[in-house]
């Protein structure tokens, strides 16, 4: 029978576990990031449409995203109304969504 020292055994197990996590991180989380990114883009498009509709109805830029939702027929994505997801800022004719998890800002010109 093949004799393997205890140190070699744990080294092999450690390398297999490390390989498993690297494989999972590349294939598993990579696709999750793409899904999250496409959802963020969809939310931005919905919010942008609602802001443009608000401007055409009210003749002014909204003060907050809550104001948009209260005057809208559709529902703004709830993720945009929570503290964890997006901070909504409007300045001039620019609208900025800041993702709370990654602090990524997206500027939208209207």
Instruction: Give pLDDT, residue 60.
Output: 75
> Cα separation of 100 and 110, whole Å?
23
89 by Cβ neighbours in 10 Å (0-12 / 13-18 / 19+) ranks as middle
Residue 41 CA, chain-centre distance (Å), reads 8
At 60-99, the pLDDT tens digits run: 766 666 676 666 666 665 555 444 445 455 555 566 665 5
> pLDDT digits over 88-102, tens only?
555 555 666 655 454
pTM: 0.41
């Amino acid at each position: 029978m093949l004799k393997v020292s205890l140190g070699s055994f744990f080294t092999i197990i450690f390398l297999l576990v490390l390989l498993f996590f690297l494989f999972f991180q590349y294939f598993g989380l990579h696709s999750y990031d793409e899904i999250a990114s496409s959802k963020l883009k969809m939310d931005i498009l919905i919010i942008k449409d609602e802001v443009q509709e608000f401007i055409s109805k009210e003749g002014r830029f909204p003060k907050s995203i809550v104001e948009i939702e209260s005057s809208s027929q559709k529902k703004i994505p709830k993720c945009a109304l929570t503290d964890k997801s997006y901070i909504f800022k409007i300045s001039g004719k620019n609208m900025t969504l800041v993702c709370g998890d990654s602090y990524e800002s997206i500027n939208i010109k209207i």
